[in-house]
Amino acid sequence: MLIRQRTRPLLILNFFRRFTTTESTQPQLATAAPSPVDPAHLLRVCTILYQQQNSPESRLHSNLNSSAFQLTHEFFLQVCNSFPLSWRPVYLFFRYTQSHHPRFTHTAVSFNKMLDVIGKSRNIQLFWDTLHEMGRRRLVNRKTFLIAVRTLAKARELNKCVDFFHAMNGFGFGYDLGNLNMVVEDLCGSKLVVEARFLVLKLKESIRPDGFTYRCLIQGFCDVGDLIEASKIWNLMVEEGFDPDIDAVEKMMETLFKTNRYGEALKVFQMMRVSRMEDLGLSTYRLVIEWMCKRGKIEEAHEVFEEMHKRRIEADNLTLASLVYGLLARGRVTMAFKAVEGIEKPDISLYHGLIKGLLRLRKARDATEVFREMIRRRCEPNMHTYIMLLQGHLGKRGRKGSDPLVNFDTIFVGGLVKAGKSLEATKYVERVIKRGLEVPRFDYNKFLHYYSNEEGVEMFEEVGKKFREVGLVDLADIFQRYGEKMATRDGRRNRAGET
């Protein structure tokens, strides 16, 4: 095998951070899991490989011999881990082990590790040669297929993706639908669905795709928002005699809803009701009811809910939360609260439905009462709860005004500075000071994140007191509760672990 690509530089600082045994790192080494690798030997070998990767091989091998390390599989893997994006040191060490340690036998694990490093450094020719070497040695496994196809697809070497399957078949690893489905699922999950489709269609004569293959492609195209291609795969799937399973149907419907193609999504739902009613379950009904309620179609949502009830499919809290929000969005506050009262074990999704609906009606005070009821019922609010409530009380851009007690510019900038975000704080202040420029939307998520520490506990307590002094009781309760959450979260985690 030939070295044909220039190496990528590696920061030697990573080695010294990882392997030097200073006073700060000694405790970590002492508490780590037992390892047969000597850190000093590993550091020495990695330093030689890095510093002399462009030297003649004879010199490199001489220095490696003088380091007197013990070669094991774990040692080889640790060397690979030390150069995650640089193929040359890893490959040179591999060649050294071949020539100077003939009794050391590489396994599929060590080859896959080296293959992964070579792939990430995009040395495609060496990558391709290594794949063939693994095939000749009969060291190819399922992980090899994943690494190979993922790397080649990212490099847009689509023909090589196909040739890889043919080459492995020549080495005795026959065409296998399981391997194809595995790599297609991985590619679609990595948003490489176009490459996955190319692979499936080119290998169609050798490996006949099944329903799972097509489902992965449909879901992949839906994830990237390409409904046209998803529909083509859907039609191809039907032509070949496969019925789209319920997961593919729900994914298609969800994507149609998200892209404002409401009517088409309902057509798919109606088709399922007519031809495959027995396949419809809670997840499909929940999806339809949720989007009907988002669009204010509460009567239609109630009809679907009744159909689900007649089929003896019990609604979960997520479905009921959508109905509650839909009722509130139409101003039916009394009906929404009655629906919640009839639920034995309301959870955070139901309370969020109430809070979101009340805030849409600009009833921030009522939403805060729901928040207090959550706490009384021992339903712990999460970050999203606080963000919704703060936006409801203060608006999406935060409260602005002359009163420093309720001016969130001051609080937010202070949080940025304390979090070490001085540049972001400066930019924010500049936009506020300059007239004629729109002040950016206040980021409550960042605000709560920057103050989720010991200083934040004191800040929330202090600001809560000031809010109470100026009559903003609801805001005071929200801030003080969040401060208590920050102060007691370790204790709550310990209690949860005990239960």
Return the pLDDT at 445.
75
Return the pLDDT at 182.
95
On whether the pTM is more than 0.85, the answer is no
**Residue 59: inside a domain:** yes
**Residue 215: inside a domain:** no
Separation CA 420–CA 35 (nearest Å): 37
Nearest to 251 by CA among 262, 265, 270, 267: 265
Which residue positions in the chain have pLDDT lower than 50?
A: 1-34, 399-406, 435-437, 439, 490-499
Q: Count the domains in the chain.
A: 2
**Residue 144: inside a domain:** no
Return the pLDDT at 466.
76
pLDDT digits (tens, 9 = 90+) for 97-133: 998 888 899 999 999 999 999 999 999 999 999 999 9
Range of 67's domain?
1-139
Domain boundary pick from 139, 161, 196: 139
Separation CA 286–CA 320 (nearest Å): 9
Q: Give phi and psi for 7, each to the nearest 5.
A: -70, 155
Go through 402-439 and write b for each residue having 16 or more CB atoms within 10 A of its CB, e for each that does not: eeeebebbebbbebbeebebeebbeebeeeeeeeeeee
Separation CA 496–CA 491 (nearest Å): 9
Return the pLDDT at 188.
94
482 CB-contact burial (10 Å; exposed 0-12 / middle 13-18 / buried 19+): buried
**Residue 247: inside a domain:** no
**Residue 51: inside a domain:** yes
Domain boundary pick from 89, 107, 139: 139
**Residue 49: inside a domain:** yes
Residues 6 or more apart whose CB falls under 8 angstroms from that of 370 comprise: 351, 354, 355, 358
Return the pLDDT at 382.
83
Start-to-end CA distance of the chain, whole Å, equals 58
Domain boundary pick from 139, 163, 187: 139
**Residue 265: inside a domain:** no
**Residue 486: inside a domain:** yes
